[in-house]
Each structure stands twice: as structure tokens, then as C-alpha cells.
Homo-oligomer: A and B are copies of this chain.
């Protein structure tokens, strides 16, 4: 992804109790694909891990500007996913919208 600053990050942390056939993995994949098609989308990092019967996850998506984030939040299919998330899937979640002011990165030399 492009590393120019400033850009914007949506930090989504969540905890859910997974159930067979709850539709979550399908919806997550659908939203991931849909987000990538949105104007202003720059990239996404996502990690999830089982912890004592629940799944903890952090997803950080990166966007060119705040208007792109607002537009994605209002997307109709995304609104439906947010509703199902609140009602059915998440035990707890937090969303933070943040302006990335500095960025640095590193790679193993021999890679």
C-alpha cells in the first residue's frame, strides 16, 4: 500500500463468540472484498485469534481521507453488516477513526 502521510486509519477491535453457521466468516469475506472496491481505500491489516472460547480480532483499514471513511460507513451493504454485527456477533467492539501522522517500516535485509 501507499505509505504517504497523512492518511487515515480505522482501528476496529472486537471480541466475538464463534458459532457454526452464524454467517460471520462469509460476511467478513464479503465486506473485505467490498471495502477494497471503495474510493479512497488504501489497504487493510487484520489478525484474529481464539482466546478462551471467544475470538479477539483487530482490523485496521487505511484510507485516503475522512470522506472515504464516511462513505464506506454509510454503504448500504456495510450498514446491514454493521447491524448484524451489533445484534448477533460481537460481545464487544471499539472503533477508532485516526489520522496517521507519521509512519515507518522495516524489512529483513536478506528477504
Contacts of A96 in B (CB 8 A): 9, 100, 102-103
**Per a CB cutoff under 8 Å, which of B47, B90, B106, B111 touches A47?**
B47
Contact A107 B94 (CB under 8 A): no
Q: How many angstroms from the CA of A101 to the CA of B11 in the assembled complex?
A: 11
Decide: B99 and A95 in contact? CB cutoff 8 A.
Answer: no
Q: In A72-111, which residues have CB < 8 Å from any B CB?
A: 86, 90-108, 111
Q: Which residues of chain B are within 8 angstroms of A86 by Cβ–Cβ distance?
A: 106
Contact assessment for B92 and A45 in the assembled complex, using a CB-CB cutoff below 8 Å: no
Flag if A98 contacts B95 (CB, 8 Å).
Answer: no
A19 is an interface residue with CB less than 8 A from chain B: no
A111 to B54, CA, bound (A): 14
Known contacts A49-B49, A57-B47: A92-B104 contact under CB 8 Å: no
Q: Which residues of B contact A104 (CB under 8 A)?
A: 94-95
> Which 5 residue pairs are nearest across A and B when measured between Cβ atoms?
A98-B98, A94-B105, A97-B102, A58-B58, A98-B100
